Chains A and B, each alone.
Chain A
Amino acid sequence: MTVTTGPTNRDAMLEKLTALDAEHAKAVAGGGEKYVERHRRRGKLTARERIELLLDEGSAFLELSPLAGWGSDFAVGASVVTGLGVVSGVECMVIANDPTVRGGASNPWTLKKVQRAAQIARENRLPTVNLVESGGADLPTQKEIFIPGGGMFRGLTRASAAKTPTVALVFGNSTAGGAYVPGMSDYVVMVKEGAKVFLGGPPLVKMATGEESDDESLGGAEMHARTSGLADYLAVDEHDAIRIGRRVVARLHHRKPHPDSSAVAPRGTDAVSRTNRGWAEPDADPEDLLDLVPADLKEPFDPREVIARICDGAGPGNEVAFDEFKPLYGPSLVTGWARLHGRQIGILANAQGVLFSEESQKAAQFIQLANQIDVPLLFLHNTTGYMVGAEYEQGGIIKHGAMMINAVSNSTVPHLSIMMGASYGAGNYGMCGRAYDPRFLFTWPSAKSAVMGPAQLAGVLSIVARQAAEAKGQPYDEDGDAQMRAFIEQSVEEQSLPFFLSGMVYDDGVIDPRDTRTVLGICLSVIENAPIEGTDRFGVFRM
């Protein structure tokens, strides 16, 4: 390999990973020791314990948006756990309220996170399993939840109509609006003496009609299983509910439209070894990914070194690990074909940060090629945006950039984005940033994303202000300018960092670069639950 950077890159990355672990630990801690302890004393399992039991033994779990709500007034993780897991051999979207965080109440970030999970389930045609125990909406922020939150229930029934079944395992409170989660689900399991599902509790009923009632008669599991019929199954305890849930999923008759291309016949002599199932592990050690990204993003790095560490290595059936397309044209963007867990993907990766006209046209062509042959695309971000300057404007950088954005917008093969380093300006759009709906978008701790670099942004503001002052003939406040620039630079810097962006649910999570191959492998497998068909209709390309 030709990595020239020293151990300092690794140190910087390891420091960021330690910080990431600490933030994840906050999400795992939920409501904190005291509330977790109280929850356990009630004989209940935590959200993550429920998920661990629900999943097939030894299968993977890709948790989504674990940092949702980071930097907000609400707990990291947004009082809900969402993720992709394998239940009874079926890839499912799993959504579990965390009742140790303010009773599992939904806040605006909960809503965003759950909506993102629902989008993933919809786009990839996954069954959804809801592990329900929530005290409803966080009332002080109801204005941000109530009106848009209604879409959650609509989403459930539309998922059902789209033949992606929904299963609700109700462990505790699921009242008022929350009652519509089981209400709109295809299968409902309630835990005896645990589930409480009603529109209005005893005090509300008393106020509304004067009727004296109790929790059990209004919404107990036994009542719903035997009388109202809202519960399809009565579970004797939480373990039993999960057991029943697993049996429900086992009988969903779920079929993937594509034969699992990762499950090809074993290759070679050792039929048992799992590392030899039709593909080779990467040609280079993924561990080196920690050395690769320069601490200073101004320094470019070769994305081929990343590709060699996340894609299948060369071997029978995959004689060349990475077949680069158009290697001599537009060299600032690397394009080409590779395989990951045996599945073919097309890759677009920034090599020198800046996108010129050539790179844009190359990208537009390559995206069309992937659509022609129904192959998913992987975008590896490290771009400072499209080139500016008279020469480039005159050379048509806007229309060429527009071609790339047109192609990426109208492409219908699944897109995966990894923010490795910089993702600035329209480069973020052209490389399939969040607004361009990649099926999945994950971020390395080294990434930064904003309209432009913090220093540039502060500098631009400073120039504009200076010009305005000059136009008015006023003297320019140099001290104020310096303060303003420092402040802007600092806040933009903070807002372009991964935790902040992940907190806004602008990605699906921040990952350890060494896990990139695994994350992408899971995503590609999940993607195969929906048909993969490229388009032949793009917008009008401005030539």
Chain B
Amino acid sequence: MIQTLLVANRAEIASRVFATCRRLGISTVAVHSDADARLPYVVEADVAVRLPGDSPSDTYLRADLLVAAAEAAGADAVHPGYGFLSENADFARAVIAAGLTWVGPTPESIEQMGDKVSAKKLMADAGVPVLTDLDPAAVTEADLPVLVKAAAGGGGRGMRIVRTLDRLADEVRAASDEAASAFGDGTVFVETYVEHGRHVEVQVVGTSVHGERDCSVQRRHQKIVEETPAPRLRDEVRTALHEAARAAAEAVAYRGAGTVEFLYDPDTERFWFLEMNTRLQVEHPVTELVHSIDLVALQIGEAEHSWTMGASTTEGHAVEVRLYAEDPQREWQPQSGVLTAFEVPDLPGLRVDAGYAAGSTVSTHYDAMLAKVVAHAPTRDAAIRLLVSALTNARIHGVTTNRDLLLRVLRSEAFRAGDVSTDFLDRHGMLAAAEVDLDVSAFAAAVALAETQAAARPVQRGVPTAWRNVVSAPQTSRFTHRDDDVEVGWYGGRDGYVSADGTMRAVNASQTEVVVERDGVRHRCEVAVSEQAVDVDSAAGHVALRRTPRFVDPADQVASGSLLAPMPGSVVSIAVEPGAEVAAGAVVLVLEAMKMQHTVSAPHAGTVTEIPVSVGAQVAAGDVLAVVQQEEA
């Protein structure tokens, strides 16, 4: 019987596994990098072991350190979570060799399914439909579009859609480079790309099936919305999918929790085997809620050989969204910073698996997922509504997230209708930046900020804010919203706060709540003022404003023509030297963050006057990378 379990992972999945451990009377061991030392999962674990360093290759990918940590902490079992070493057979073997219990499938199953090329062959032999591999050299116009995929790994990395033949060679190379960097294996293969295909996967435990999940709504091949049961699926198709998944699991005599992923073409109602994930999936909670099972408990029971599977019942519908610290409007750039607020309403039927809490620092060393928000309700519609309510009323400040995008998806008619596909976001125009009416939120921000400043004033308390006996000009509060400057003009004084143009007034004002009246309509705004930012939550959504300092010491002023790091990362290469003449758009340097390379190019033609960074340097968002002085016109 497992007494003490180490989770060789981090954040939400570690917390998720710990939760089951606590119910089963198993002591918990967390491992953490330096950057993660204060995350909730470390705090809640009975024992925590430090893995020195920050980068995954120094920490969560170090099998030797993880086994040593288990031994040091007196653990007798290891759960790998998902990602990192969860599908690494060598790690599983090392754990077993150390006399520890491996909570997962056998190393052999991992290996068999790990190589996607051989797995496909295996499945084809077992009678599971697969897409045929294409030889990159033999691909013709008729085969297009095609998909280039890494043989190892997952999560969308190293995946490329190719629509014109001339791009094929380049994309194969790029996918291979990315796969090599991410997984240490540059093998890629090419297969037919199904337009408007859906991603439907089946949960298995051993060789028994626990329903399917639709995970079609994706960004850059990474799932963001998942649900079970899959919508718009005829029972015959559903049964066929389940049978195919069972056949797949039987082919490798599978043990433990796994997921068989299929590509489904809704037009032809055909499906093809994509891959089998020999681990717990990120989106496992939807299955747990609808089937009333605990997949982690089943994994543990299976690892202890004490498990007997009873019949599971299904009830209702569950939808999960993945809340990421990323900016959909800026090519999904991962965001970092301190989560100054992080609250999701506690609603009946709602489950939140979070890796972070208010006050946590989000770094860009790892996956940017903050939490999974899962709604379970009798019907699909009810589950969607519950999720919309939870996301709308969540308070997430300090870091830009994909919340608004998720809400747009959940509120869309297309999603409501179950008209999902892997190109959902593009096909339904979800990525167009929504027009935000900033006026009310910005005015509320200015008012709450003024109230906060008034409360901190050491003198003249009780005197109305910004009172003047002779009025010359409105007060101005300056913010930035995304890249735009936002200026709010307002008057204070005897009658309270009024906008400079007279269209808005605050009927109620405090540091945390401002009620704005405009055209006879009152808008209640919750406002959080912090040192750097003002966050406004209202029915119009969340508006994050950065405070613009009133004065800037000339010594701190950024030279014009400075190129600032768009996100935290490390400098991979520098293309120019100080003194070099560059044309507008010329590559100045390349930054790597979250395994993605970002090119920083010259905004205008000019002379490179300064490069204060060197190759390998870690930079924070906003750091000056280079200065390109514009040529005098």
A interface list, Cβ under 8 A from B: 24, 27-28, 48-49, 52-53, 56-63, 66, 86, 89-91, 236, 239-240, 242-243, 246, 256, 260, 262-263, 272-274, 277, 279, 341-342, 509, 511-512, 514-515, 518-519, 521-522, 525
Q: Does B451 contact A (CB under 8 A)?
A: yes
27 pairs from A and B in contact (CB 8 Å cutoff): A27-B470, A28-B471, A48-B472, A48-B473, A52-B475, A56-B453, A58-B450, A59-B457, A60-B460, A60-B468, A66-B469, A90-B459, A243-B553, A246-B551, A260-B459, A262-B459, A262-B460, A262-B461, A263-B458, A263-B461, A274-B451, A274-B510, A277-B461, A342-B462, A509-B469, A511-B469, A525-B463
Contact check: which of B464, B475, B477, B554 meets A240 at CB < 8 Å? B554
Q: Check A274/B469 contact, CB under 8 A, given A56-B457, A58-B450, A242-B551.
A: no
The answer to whether B551 touches A525 (Cβ under 8 A) is: no
The answer to whether B494 touches A514 (Cβ under 8 A) is: yes
The answer to whether A272 touches B510 (Cβ under 8 A) is: yes
Chain B residues near A277 (CB-CB < 8 A): 461-462
Cα A242 to Cα B554 in complex, Å, equals 13
Cα A274 to Cα B462 in complex, Å, equals 7
Chain B residues near A239 (CB-CB < 8 A): 551
Cα A246 to Cα B467 in complex, Å, equals 20
Q: Check A24/B466 contact, CB under 8 A, given A89-B458, A274-B451, A514-B494.
A: no
Q: Check A63/B468 contact, CB under 8 A, given A57-B475, A236-B554, A272-B512.
A: yes
Q: Check A279/B459 contact, CB under 8 A, given A57-B450, A57-B550.
A: no
Closest 5 CB pairs of A and B: A243-B551, A60-B467, A48-B472, A58-B450, A341-B462
The answer to whether A341 touches B475 (Cβ under 8 A) is: no
Point out which of B450, B461, B469, B510 has the most chain A C-beta atoms below 10 A from its C-beta: B469
The answer to whether B457 touches A89 (Cβ under 8 A) is: yes
The answer to whether B494 touches A518 (Cβ under 8 A) is: yes
The answer to whether A63 touches B469 (Cβ under 8 A) is: yes
The answer to whether A58 touches B470 (Cβ under 8 A) is: no
Q: Does B68 contact A (CB under 8 A)?
A: no
B residues 436-463 with Cβ under 8 Å of A? 450-451, 453-455, 457-463
The answer to whether A58 touches B469 (Cβ under 8 A) is: no
Q: Does B208 contact A (CB under 8 A)?
A: no
Q: Please give me the residue from chain B that is nearest to A66 by CB atom.
A: B470
Chain B residues near A89 (CB-CB < 8 A): 457-459
Point out which of A52, A59, A89 has the most chain B C-beta atoms below 10 A from its C-beta: A59
Point out which of B460, B550, B553 has the most chain A C-beta atoms below 10 A from its C-beta: B460
Q: Does B492 contact A (CB under 8 A)?
A: yes
Cα A58 to Cα B466 in complex, Å, equals 4
Point out which of A242, A274, A522, A525 has the most chain B C-beta atoms below 10 A from its C-beta: A274
The answer to whether B494 touches A522 (Cβ under 8 A) is: no
Q: Does B465 contact A (CB under 8 A)?
A: yes
Q: Does B511 contact A (CB under 8 A)?
A: yes
The answer to whether A521 touches B463 (Cβ under 8 A) is: yes
Chain B residues near A59 (CB-CB < 8 A): 454, 457, 460, 466
Closest CB in chain A relative to B507 CB, distance in Å:
14
One digit per residue, 1 when the CB lies within 8 angstroms of any chain A CB and 0 when it does not, for chain B 470-511 equals: 111101010000000000000010100000000000000011
Point out which of B455, B470, B471, B551 has the most chain A C-beta atoms below 10 A from its C-beta: B470
Cα A239 to Cα B455 in complex, Å, equals 26
Cα A30 to Cα B471 in complex, Å, equals 13
The answer to whether A60 touches B464 (Cβ under 8 A) is: yes
Q: Check A28/B470 contact, CB under 8 A, given A240-B554, A341-B462.
A: yes
Number of interface residues of B (CB under 8 A): 33
Chain A residues near B551 (CB-CB < 8 A): 239-240, 242-243, 246
Cα A338 to Cα B66 in complex, Å, equals 73
Q: Please give me the residue from chain B that is nearest to A91 by CB atom.
A: B459
One digit per residue, 1 when the CB lies within 8 angstroms of any chain A CB and 0 when it does not, for chain B 546-563 equals: 000011011000000000
Chain B residues near A279 (CB-CB < 8 A): 462
Cα A223 to Cα B512 in complex, Å, equals 50
Cα A63 to Cα B467 in complex, Å, equals 10
Closest CB in chain A relative to B478 CB, distance in Å:
10
Closest CB in chain B relative to A517 CB, distance in Å:
9
Closest CB in chain B relative to A111 CB, distance in Å:
20
Q: Please give me the residue from chain B that is nearest to A64 by CB atom.
A: B469
The answer to whether A273 touches B454 (Cβ under 8 A) is: no
Contact check: which of B454, B459, B512, B553 meets A58 at CB < 8 Å? B454
Point out which of A60, A243, A519 has the most chain B C-beta atoms below 10 A from its C-beta: A60
Cα A53 to Cα B476 in complex, Å, equals 10
Chain A residues near B494 (CB-CB < 8 A): 512, 514-515, 518
The answer to whether B460 touches A272 (Cβ under 8 A) is: no
Cα A329 to Cα B506 in complex, Å, equals 47
Closest CB in chain A relative to B89 CB, distance in Å:
58
The answer to whether A274 touches B455 (Cβ under 8 A) is: yes
Closest CB in chain B relative to A116 CB, distance in Å:
16
Q: Please give me the residue from chain A that is nearest to B451 by CB atom.
A: A274
Contact check: which of B460, B475, B554 meets A525 at CB < 8 Å? B460
Cα A399 to Cα B396 in complex, Å, equals 75
B residues 575-602 with Cβ under 8 Å of A? none
Chain B residues near A91 (CB-CB < 8 A): 459-460
Cα A63 to Cα B471 in complex, Å, equals 9
Chain A residues near B510 (CB-CB < 8 A): 272-274
Q: Check A57/B470 contact, CB under 8 A, given A246-B551, A272-B510.
A: no
Closest CB in chain A relative to B474 CB, distance in Å:
10
The answer to whether A58 touches B461 (Cβ under 8 A) is: no
Closest CB in chain B relative to A184 CB, distance in Å:
27
Contact check: which of B455, B473, B550 meets A272 at CB < 8 Å? B455
Chain B residues near A263 (CB-CB < 8 A): 458-459, 461
Contact check: which of A52, A56, A60 meets B473 at CB < 8 Å? A52
Cα A66 to Cα B494 in complex, Å, equals 19
Cα A9 to Cα B167 in complex, Å, equals 84
One digit per residue, 1 when the CB lies within 8 angstroms of any chain A CB and 0 when it does not, for chain B 259-296 equals: 00000000000000000000000000000000000000
Chain A residues near B460 (CB-CB < 8 A): 59-60, 86, 91, 262, 521-522, 525
Closest CB in chain A relative to B485 CB, distance in Å:
16
Given contacts A59-B457, A272-B511, A525-B463, 13 further A-B contacts (CB under 8 A): A24-B470, A57-B477, A60-B468, A86-B459, A86-B460, A89-B459, A242-B551, A260-B458, A272-B510, A274-B451, A277-B462, A515-B469, A519-B469
Cα A66 to Cα B385 in complex, Å, equals 60
Chain A residues near B455 (CB-CB < 8 A): 272, 274
Chain B residues near A240 (CB-CB < 8 A): 551, 554
Cα A236 to Cα B552 in complex, Å, equals 11
Closest CB in chain B relative to A44 CB, distance in Å:
15
Cα A502 to Cα B550 in complex, Å, equals 35
Closest CB in chain B relative to A445 CB, distance in Å:
12
Cα A490 to Cα B511 in complex, Å, equals 54
Chain A residues near B477 (CB-CB < 8 A): 57
Closest CB in chain A relative to B329 CB, distance in Å:
30
Chain A residues near B511 (CB-CB < 8 A): 272
Chain A residues near B550 (CB-CB < 8 A): 53, 57
Contact check: which of B454, B459, B472, B512 meets A274 at CB < 8 Å? B454
Closest CB in chain A relative to B140 CB, distance in Å:
65
Closest CB in chain B relative to A426 CB, distance in Å:
30
